[in-house]
Structure 1
């Protein structure tokens, strides 16, 4: 049932992750995402020592109102590859949407790709949104 889907969006506030968030809202939000009002509370922001992105919060607020979805944010610390796969399990996600920076082949070999790792190891379907403006 569509209303029971749990969709995750990997968000590090980079341009490609914001594109993934926007794509998810436009294409997947149908009362299926799960409220994030606590993240606007100053004590919560201090507790997690995160710097909020006003553009992302506005996007989430608008989506919450217009699409009538509830949005939850979960913060994980550590290696993004491992933490994203852990989040899929912890949050029992039906799918995960991620942005891709489009690393050059050399950088991908040297640094590894978070997206490639998650696509290979996560136990749910992964949708990758590429930044069309990225030039190698």
Structure 2
């Protein structure tokens, strides 16, 4: 497919960790003409609407950047982008001349990120690494580790070094 129109996915949960991963992707991967696709995974949604039940399987439609600030649209998907992330995206859309989209999935982050890779489909995926301690990682399992081992496309893990 060449470099034109690649689909670069970034897993976002609107935490500082995901903002760092997003900024890294924009600085190091994203080129003019690419599609920057934010993949947002929500915990299981128990919503009675038929539309939502369909989305639980396929994920939401691709949401354009212009709708990220629309509270009604975001509420429908149960997600709320933070101002810092929106600022990063606005700048990237203009400076890098990329199309910015978001797709929301519901369920287990590890499985849904791998599904997103095939469903969208993505050429590469960037995920943040929260840097859980060894004990927490043993109990919870690492999302980034799982995705690296199970994704059908290349995955970049951007480490977040907490100053604690």
Identify the residue that residue 35 of structure 2 maps to in structure 1: 33
> Once the 2 structures are TM-superposed, how far is the Cα of residue 134 of structure 1 from its aligned partner?
5.2
- TM-score w.r.t. the length of structure 2 is 0.78
> Once the 2 structures are TM-superposed, how far is the Cα of residue 68 of structure 1 from its aligned partner?
0.7
1:18 matches 2:19? yes
Structure 1 stretches of 4+ moved >4 Å: none
Distance 2:12 2:81 in 1: 11
Cα distance change on mapping 1:121 and 1:134 into 2, 3 Å? farther
Identify the residue that residue 58 of structure 2 maps to in structure 1: none
Cα distance change on mapping 1:119 and 1:134 into 2, 3 Å? farther
Of residues 30-39 and 69-78 in structure 1, the stretch that sits farther from structure 2 once superposed is 30-39
| Gap regions ≥5 residues in structure 1 | none
> Once the 2 structures are TM-superposed, how far is the Cα of residue 41 of structure 1 from its aligned partner?
2.2
Q: CA RMSD in A?
A: 1.3
Correspondences of 1:76-91 after superposition (within 5 Å): 76-91=105-120
Cα distance change on mapping 1:107 and 1:42 into 2, 3 Å? closer
Kept in 2: contact 1:36–1:73 (CA 8 A) = yes
Kept in 1: contact 2:131–2:161 (CA 8 A) = no
Distance 1:45 1:70 in 2: 18
Structure number having the greater strand percentage: 2
| Gap regions ≥5 residues in structure 2 | 37-63
User: Aligned residues, how many?
Assistant: 135
> Once the 2 structures are TM-superposed, how far is the Cα of residue 29 of structure 1 from its aligned partner?
1.4
- TM-score w.r.t. the length of structure 1 is 0.93
